[in-house]
Chains A and B, each alone.
Chain A
Amino acid sequence: MPMRIADTRIRNFVDTQKTSPSPKISDANVIDLLAAVGDGSRTSFDKVKSELTKPGITRGQQFELAKAGLSKSEKSDIGQLLDKSGLAMDPGAKNFLEALVGRAPLQESFGPLTITGDQKNGIAGIAKPGEVIEAINLSTAPAGRLHLVDTQVIGTADASGKFLGTLPDVREGDMIRLRTRAADGSTSDWLTIQAKGIETSDTRNAIVNLERMDLVAGQSGVAVTHNTGRPITEPGAQIRFVNARTGEKVDVTANEKGSIPAGLTLPGKAGDEFKVSVSDGKNNLNHASVTGTLKVPGGTTGITGVDLPDPKMHKDESNADGTPKFKTERFVGPLFIDEPTPGDVRQGAIGNCYFPAAMAAVAHTSPQALKDMVKQNQDGTYTVRFYENGNKSRPVEVKVDGDLYVRSFGGPIYGSSLGGTNTKDKMELWFPIIEKAYAQWKGSYDAIGNGGSAGRVMSEVLGRSQSYEWVSAGSEDRLFNRIKSDIAKGIPVAAGTHGSDQASRYTNTGVYANHAYSILGVEEKNGEKFVKLRNPWGQSEYGNDGKNDGFFSLPMKKFTELYSSMYVLN
């Protein structure tokens, strides 16, 4: 039987659709039907339509507006539309009509997250209305410092659940990871798709981030690990490791998080180098293009000159079996570029502030003593002399090479030099070499990296006995005069702040608790006495002189509030 549509607007809607090149009741035009149903003697079609398209309106509210005006004949018209029109319908539009005639409950949403079509014009799909769509490009993420959850918001699902968004720099074949986030903060499961329809073929290979991988030699080979919170390549990519010494190769497939499989061990030993390549299954299938080389810490490969045992790392940078988490590199820069100065010294990521503070203090008053204590040998090693217990008759000579532990993204992890480059062929070496020798003498970087006394170091460097002054209110003049006198005589001075139990007095002052500073002198300005100090970090200071280089001047009164002890030599 033909349709007999009573409502003029509904009949016109059907007629219009039937003459359309692509007839369909869509999520967009179903609003006209809802308005046609919702209007009545008291409310016009235009007013209802305006209400139906208000920003933020939910499907449930749209349904109630239409249902409020639904007459018996309109219900019959909608039933005929569903049964006899033959028109295609979007799922959301069809559900509206079925709900109006009582054949189905209204669905508030059409989740879970579904991606529709290709990505030629962006990323389109369906989620629950109002949900935010978050996405990350797993093919490009490994090149940055991104975690798997460092997503970008690409869009919000509209009232019908549809969304369309874009991510920058998406290429054919890229792996895109998406999830939804509801208003209450809850998130959906991850959905990973491979971008298509953007280019005619996938010509961008996967990338692999070598800086995130650590190779550690053990009894059964070379263990490969990395922080699995960050992807090192895209899911499914094949990574190839080739041992440059033996030619043995190992292929592994990255898991869904872009991580290498747990427990991966390569055939090799300390000092070996591995060439690493990657293929996404479409590009670099023969692994002819090599991303880079990873070196297993230890061994002697690539070392110029004598290779001496290195002091063990601090326990925070060591594996459970005592092996280092970081590799070493041979530094071959000049021992001294010019006269040693306090500004050369930079504390590394180790709790030995007392050591760089002492060394910078010595550099300020006795630079020649530093030049005298360290010698470069013909075989590329260095001999550093200390004095046991500050006793000049008991010199201790320590021989070290130029290998320094380095961060995966470059530069020494422990002490380094400021004021220039920290590359291995150019960095000024006197401070990191003396620090390494001190660690060697005391047993390890761990032995020197859990606190100590700047006075003791100054004593061991210069061969003089040490002493100290407690700093307290009322001692300003006495301390001022002592600093002035000592520095004039070329005797280094340093200071320490109070312990961490008094840390709250330091926040926002620019001075830090449980920390050592070099004292570089005193001065008087407008009748007020100041002490000149330096933070061994080479940054972070009291006041704001616009430089943030660690050098600062502090009123003596403030000095006695914030500092606990002053280290002096006899």
Chain B
Amino acid sequence: MALPPEPIEEVLPEADGAVLAVVSRIVEQAPQQQYERTLETSAPQKAARQVVELKVTKVLFGEVKSGAVVKAVKPEGAYALREGNQGPFVLGKNEGAVEILGRYGPDTWSEAAVKQAAAALGKR
């Protein structure tokens, strides 16, 4: 459902890190349910879960290193990733795995918004 992005202040406390990164590889792609073409929007539909590799180009906060490749879960939700997608990725942990936070992944918040909110929370 096309809800607006969550306020970053609600999500950032759950985050362990935030990076600028490029999707370098789709490691796993769960089966995607196909939906019939419809006139309705905000329908209860979901893009399937993916596991991707993120090549980190810049660290906004957290213990990740620039240049590292991070394996991360893109949970079932409102967006999907392709190789080459890039932007700010806010990362958390879910049952031991790194998970991409934010309703629209790298299109959820700008780098400046993430940095500003992280600074306000004392995240480094």
Contact = CB atoms under 8 A, between A and B. Distances in A.
A564 B121 CA distance: 41
A103 to B, nearest CB: 41
B42 A506 contact: no
Contacts of B45: 499-501, 514
Interface in A117-168: 144-147, 150, 152
Nearest to A168: B122
Interface string B6-23: 100110011000000000
B32 A514 contact: no
Given A453-B39, A453-B40, A503 B5 contact: no
Nearest to B13: A147
A351 interface: yes
A516 B1 CA distance: 11
Contact of A514 (B5, B9, B41): B41
Given A145-B121, A451-B1, A500-B45, A508 B87 contact: yes
Contacts of B75: none
Contact of B39 (A357, A496, A500, A514): A496
A389 to B, nearest CB: 15
A499 B78 contact: no
A144 B123 CA distance: 13
A537 B4 contact: yes
Interface in B1-59: 1-6, 9-10, 13-14, 32-35, 37-47
Which of A508, A537, A565 is the most central at the interface, judged by chain B CB atoms within 10 Å of its CB? A508
Interface residues of A, number: 49
Interface string B75-87: 0001111100111
Size bracket, chain B contacts: 35 or more
| Chain A facing B: main interface SS | loop
A381 interface: no
A12 interface: no
A510 B106 CA distance: 11
B92 to A, nearest CB: 11
A65 B12 CA distance: 47
Which label, helix, strand, loop or mixed, suits the secondary structure of the B interface? loop
Contacts of B4: 347-349, 537, 539-540
B41 A353 contact: yes
B80 A503 contact: yes
B104 interface: yes
A504 B80 contact: yes
A495 B104 CA distance: 20
Contacts of B34: 501
A501 B33 contact: yes
A506 B103 CA distance: 13
A516 B41 contact: yes
B16 to A, nearest CB: 10
A454 interface: yes
Contact of A145 (B13, B40, B46, B85): B13
Contacts of A515: 2, 41-42
Given A146-B13, A347-B4, A507-B105, A500 B46 contact: yes
B41 A504 contact: no
A352 B78 contact: no
A144 B121 contact: yes
A497 interface: yes
A349 B3 contact: yes
Given A351-B2, A514-B1, 20 more contacts: A150-B123, A352-B42, A450-B44, A451-B41, A454-B41, A497-B41, A500-B43, A500-B47, A501-B33, A504-B81, A504-B82, A507-B80, A507-B104, A507-B107, A508-B86, A513-B2, A513-B78, A514-B43, A514-B78, A516-B2
Interface of A: 144-147, 150, 152, 230, 347-354, 357, 449-455, 468, 470, 496-501, 503-504, 506-508, 510, 512-516, 537, 539-540, 548, 564-565, 567
